[in-house]
Structure 1
Amino acid sequence: MNKTALKTRFAPSPSGLLHLGNIRTALFNALLARRSRGLFLLRIEDTDQERSSEEYVTALMEDLRWLALEWQEGPEVEGEAGPYRQSQRRSVYQADFQRLEAEKLAYPCFCSQEELERVRKRQLAAGQAPRYPGTCARLSPEEVEGKLAAGFKSALRFRVPSLTTIEFEDLVRGPQRFATGDIGDFIIRRTDGSPAFFFSNALDDALMGVTHVLRGEDHLTNTPRQILLLQALGLPIPRYGHIAMIVGRDGAPLSKRHGSRSV
């Protein structure tokens, strides 16, 4: 298989059993790869160690095989871009955290959840879309060193460029445009040192050679953030397609309260 072959992926979080929406996403990605004689990759996104369980990893792989959704790259099959569990890729993420911080493209954020919630409420009350106001982006190097020396815990935020428009052609929804002024600087590493979804998900897609990402439309607003990250790191950007969600009669995404079952 040459390196330019189409490659899709299914990247579940093992925090529960696969449900209908998960399988629909996996099916579309597997079928796209199969039609194009490409590769279908499985990646386990288990950075949240408190919620992730080996029992669910085993179950989701059994469910995929039962449905004949075999993966050509990933756990138990392996490949050149492994490991395929994000919990085993911390050193990969750390190297790029350091690179972004060294290039002033990311900065430590000491804001507490309480502070952020107060800002969010003020913005909503003023009719504004909630976004980070850039409080810690204005700290001097001396102030940052002082807070770290005093034992303050910090997250790491990506510095979103101002007055820029992110455009991409969605495989399902067509042309998309997002103004970076509406996004705000976002967290890429949590205070416990674990990578945020925006970061590890995008980075691994690029490093694993994923060319096409089909996922639910609830991820559409994640895409400009991930494009910004990949551009900053000089990594290839996959083509994205956002499919409609499976919803209940109330129009909300299908869940247990609608009687949604596991596979």
Structure 2
Amino acid sequence: MSDTTVKTRFAPSPTGALHLGNLRTALFNALLARSRGGHFVLRIEDTDRERYRPEAAQALMGDLRWLGLAWQEGPEVGGPAAPYHQHERTAIYDAYYRQLEAEGWAYPCFCTESELEMARRAQRAAGRPPRYPGTCARLSAEEAARKRAEGRAPALRFRVPPGEEVRFTDTVHGEQRFATDEIGDFVIRRADGTAAYLFSNAVDDALMGITDVLRGDDHLTNTPRQLLVLRALGLSGPRYGHMGLITGDDGAPLSKRNGSRSVAELEAAGYLPEALLNYLARVGHTYDEAGLLELDGLAAGFAPARVSAAPSRFDADHLRHWQAEAVMAADTQRLRDWLAIEAFIPPGYADELLNAVRANIRFPEDGKEWARRVFGPPPALEPEARAAIAEAGAELFETAVAAAEEGYNRFQGLRAALQERTGRKGKRLLMPLRAALTGRCSGPELQPIVDLMGGERVVERLRRAAEVAAEDRAQEE
């Protein structure tokens, strides 16, 4: 890999299941790397050992593999910047902490959380934005030693230079400027000795050669802080792009609380990976191509300039649309494996059934339902279907039974015989037939599914329809 190769990363902190907001971040970074022939890095940010869940990290990697989002560097793959779990990089961080302290860029902070909260309240009451007031910024070495002797473990704060402006070009938002006087000194190492996100995230991006980072715009204000740290350490940072968040119906960031399901839950519900990828690739990003795309196609059309800075609302109907597109595009053998319908149909009929009902399938249960409707006993009549049967009247179905028993039990022959004997045609004929044979008033094209039913099932269902129509007429009288 050359020095100019694009290298992106996904750097989750696995404390639970992977959700769609984080998945989109992973996808956009993977697509950017893929579009430029670069590398996609997976880094596990697990410095918060109390909240970190190893099983969540394993599940996350399984989710990424299921979606086809392979990483070229990271856990279980390796790479030149290993290790890729942050808790294994403590010695690296410690060396940089010592450098910052020695050069005056960092200092120990002994302030307690209650003291910090009191300072924030006072600042808000005075109409000022809350930021660290610099309480420990001028502690002498003797004062710091005395506090340590008292058993007070300090955090480590970065000393933000006053009177400067941090500028950078955001690949989504454009030119950005932040005054250092409005930032305030910030924690880079917690009191328990673990690295703070702002620090370890920036340092690892630099050391791993990350060239481009796409992340949620909730991180936008973190960027000037991280650039200040990297400048103090003499390290180069990536290009940053901050995209609008995905929100729920309530306008809040998408979460389990407002209806978001995890990737694992969506997989269990029967969603295909192509559906999730095509949906998320278009949440806050535009494509010229309106149809279903494979991963290479999604990468070819991806560009940071097409990423939106505005929030994007999660649309369950849009996701189901892409599910339908993915089902239509899947090959028959894959659908058979996915639907697992063999137990519901006679041997040898799976491909014919799938060809007949594919357009009406979204999830595995849909396939099983149509298998039962075609090959099982007469299905329950939905209310609309029963109404259509009653309106058509028993005479139509008695005529249909007679025609079917004469051998007109395949669809085209049955329809032709009924048109001739009853004068019915079009919707007046096809709607009651559909209701009688499938129990529903909507569904796949009738011809292939009726022909798959076979003569005995056709006669049985038509006879039931005649009985139902007669019963309903009798009740009216």
TM-score, normalised with respect to structure 1: 0.99
Aligned partner of residue 242 in structure 1, secondary structure: strand
What is the RMSD computed on CA atoms of the aligned residues? 0.7
Which position in structure 2 is the counterpart of 1:75?
A: 75
For the 8 Å contact 2:250–2:258, the answer to whether it is kept is: no
Segment of structure 1 superposing worse, 241-250 or 165-174: 241-250
Which position in structure 1 is the counterpart of 2:252?
A: 252
Aligned: 1:4 with 2:18:
no
In 2, Cα distance between the equivalents of 1:222 and 1:196? 12
Which position in structure 2 is the counterpart of 1:237?
A: 237
In 2, Cα distance between the equivalents of 1:23 and 1:144? 44
Which position in structure 1 is the counterpart of 2:47?
A: 47
Aligned: 1:261 with 2:261:
yes
1:63 alignment partner AA: D
Listed as ranges, the matches of 1:1-263 within 5 Å are: 1-263=1-263
Superposition deviation, residue 145 in structure 1 = 1.4
Aligned partner of residue 77 in structure 2, secondary structure: coil
> Gaps spanning 5+ residues in structure 2: where?
264-477
Aligned structure 1 segments of 4 or more residues deviating by more than 6 angstroms: none
Superposition deviation, residue 259 in structure 1 = 1.2
Which structure would you say has the larger Rg? 2
In 2, Cα distance between the equivalents of 1:25 and 1:4? 22
Superposition deviation, residue 114 in structure 1 = 0.3
For the 8 Å contact 2:199–2:229, the answer to whether it is kept is: yes
Which structure has the highest strand share of the two?
Answer: 1
1:214 alignment partner AA: L
1:259 alignment partner AA: G
Superposition deviation, residue 249 in structure 1 = 2.4
In 2, Cα distance between the equivalents of 1:5 and 1:222? 25
Superposition deviation, residue 14 in structure 1 = 1.0
In 2, Cα distance between the equivalents of 1:163 and 1:238? 24
2:131 alignment partner AA: R
In 2, Cα distance between the equivalents of 1:46 and 1:144? 29
In 2, Cα distance between the equivalents of 1:153 and 1:258? 39
> Gaps spanning 5+ residues in structure 1: where?
none
For the 8 Å contact 2:248–2:259, the answer to whether it is kept is: no
In 1, Cα distance between the equivalents of 2:212 and 2:4? 12
Superposition deviation, residue 241 in structure 1 = 0.1
Superposition deviation, residue 4 in structure 1 = 2.4
In 1, Cα distance between the equivalents of 2:125 and 2:176? 28
Identity, % of aligned positions: 66
1:47 alignment partner AA: T
Which structure has the highest helix share of the two?
Answer: 2
The structure whose RCO (Cα within 8 Å, separation 6+) is larger is 1
In 2, Cα distance between the equivalents of 1:112 and 1:233? 28
In 1, Cα distance between the equivalents of 2:257 and 2:84? 32
